[in-house]
Structure 1
Amino acid sequence: MSAKPGVRWIEFGGEGDTLMLRWLVLLVLLGNALLFLWYAQEYRFADTVRQPDIRPAALRLPNELDASEQLVLRPRECGYFQPLESDYEAERLLIQLEGYGVDLAYEKIPPVAQGWKVELPLPADADRRVALLDQLASLGWVPESRDGALVMGVYPDDAAVDELRKQFPDDLQSKLRKKVNTIQSDAFRVTVSYLQGFEFDQELIEMVATQWPGAQFEKKPCEGVATLKPDQ
């Protein structure tokens, strides 16, 4: 085979030349592989730098917070629409308030403290009870018996109770006991809890005044609801 002018052929004829050719091919393949890995690493690191981490923080329970972290609670406010004549009226108003997105419930208005109830304990012995009743009758008292005691009346304040004591001899004064007098209402109220800053519109207030005469909205401290404390 004759070579063309200007072209030079390399001929491999022996086993050594074949082995050298194999090594040359392996080196070329290895070089290509290393070059590919280098480009891949450069691209990955560059992409990591360019792309910000926008994954949301993991949700944690309050007991999983570190000691240095503080759980900030939005303060809540509470109030009552009261008085309402019956549970039916309370439920009817509650339905009217459901569209405002606040926490609602209704309940019977709790007993209200009003003055002092003064009692005189009854002796366990029958003869002593009769003697006590006779002594009170001689002083012009015929008290009502209730729950093992004689009820001497309800008085608005401590001054009135002190005036009562003066009407009895020393042996009876020391036995008189005063208890907080409570009045149970038959009325109901709708309790409301909401985030601070919420206000009922004037239209609702006027509607309540029209449909439930006498009922008013009163803001009260929330019971059992977390509130923010001022900085010390």
Structure 2
Amino acid sequence: TLAANNMRDGVHIRLTLTRGVKVTSGMDPRLNQSGPTLIVLAENKAPVYTKTGLSLITSKIRRPPADVLDARIHHANLLNSILAKIEANNAGADDALMLDTRGFVAETNATHVFIVRNSDESRASGDLATGRVVACPEGITRATVIEICAAEKIRCVEADLSLVDVYGAHEIFCTGTMGELAGVIRIDNRQIGDGKVGPMTKRLSNLYVKRTATEGVQVIDL
């Protein structure tokens, strides 16, 4: 797909694997008798979030627990996230922070969330925390940030984070394939830190850009 369309850089690829064509309508997987269908959607697309800082609201929509729908299963049923995004749109926010049914941070409607505590602006240092993978999927960008923290000797823990932790954070940023690292400056009309994208967020953003520029798998011949 990339070679046929001469797409080599700045391309976002979304892969969707379906059960394939059905012999008739219905939910029974046995009706899919032609084998799976792989959809490759490639777009020339820049990162979707501003680097000047995002505003979030806390959504009333909760992320379901694993016994309802395991978040580690990547699926196309995104109604839960879409409803939260509509809520954010109506509130004039960029995205919605979503909690699990216990009241802890899951993720936003589209990205994972990291908070920075004990921040020292002069050294762009601090401790990071991100929600446990309970009501949110595992993420490649999230995992990359955790790996970068380990390499740079930056303390980063996975924990149950409440809104108290979020509101009291010195910095907050989101991570995702199409957002990379994006700082958050307001949540529920509360200012985060000094109201600007913080030094740790900028430091990790730069490290992330350097890493992704030098690592990865070449998918087409240049």
TM superposition score category, shorter chain reference: under 0.3
Decide which structure has the larger Cα Rg and report it. Answer: 1
So what's the TM-score if we normalise by structure 2?
0.22
Q: Which has the higher contact order (CA 8 A, sep 6+)?
A: 1
More helix per residue: 1 or 2? 1
More strand per residue: 1 or 2? 2
